[in-house]
Amino acid sequence: MEAKVFNSFRDLIFEKTGIHLTEQKVALVSARVGKRMRALGIGDYSDYYQYVMAEKSGQEMVELVNAISTNVTHFFRESRHFDFMGESLRKWTESGIKQVRIWCAASSSGEEPYSLAITALENLPRDAKINIIASDISTKVLQMAKFGVYKDSDVQGISAPMLKRYFQKGVGRAQDLFRVKSELRDLISFRQVNLATPPYAVESPLDLIFCRNVMIYFNQDLRKRLVRTFSDMLRPGGYLVVGMAESLSGIHDKLKSVEPSVYIKLP
């Protein structure tokens, strides 16, 4: 891919998603765009760019975003966050709170929101009202998340009792597959959200926002805007959880660090 064409794709992706692609991502963009080009029978990167720009419905832009978006996840990834969430939920219950609203802002293929749902059910009383909003920019991974079917290798990090309690094992040719039970699926509403373009179709105030390993792809201005928006959407005493490799140092005012990558909204 020529530098001029790469820059065109980079500017377009940034404009539409806020994702900042450095020059080191040329190979990644070439490979992922190339798959979409082969599906369409287009042989030149510049021709494909022109096709995206000319396509009236906007569906090809969606396909491009689906191709570029990085979706690396697994159940209970960075497990300390879920331990912290469980502790917080138990404390909230002891204080009389019986309703919890959680936003998983980058749900990918569903492992994270389902991990949140399991943690909520394991740490809240049965009469608690649990509402989890799971969003992503990619329509492709949202469909996978809604379907809620995972391979045996995907659920290795889940204990045997939890796996039996919350997943239905396939039979016959599907014996290596596990489907999330309706008890979990009913707690979650999935929707497409582009974090680069607030306001979001997410009701507030929220008790907990998980936005992990996303802001590393954004520039500093977008990170600041995003954190301010998250802060406004949280109730006082609510938490924002970011990735272990991410830091809000210097870009937050109403949020205080309570442990690495976990921030509480101040009164």
Enumerate the active-site residues: 32, 136
Distance CA 78, CA 66 (A): 24
User: What would the two tokens of residue 239 be?
Assistant: 């938490």
User: What would the two tokens of residue 49 be?
Assistant: 């760019």
30: phi then psi, degrees, rounded to nearest 5: -60, -45
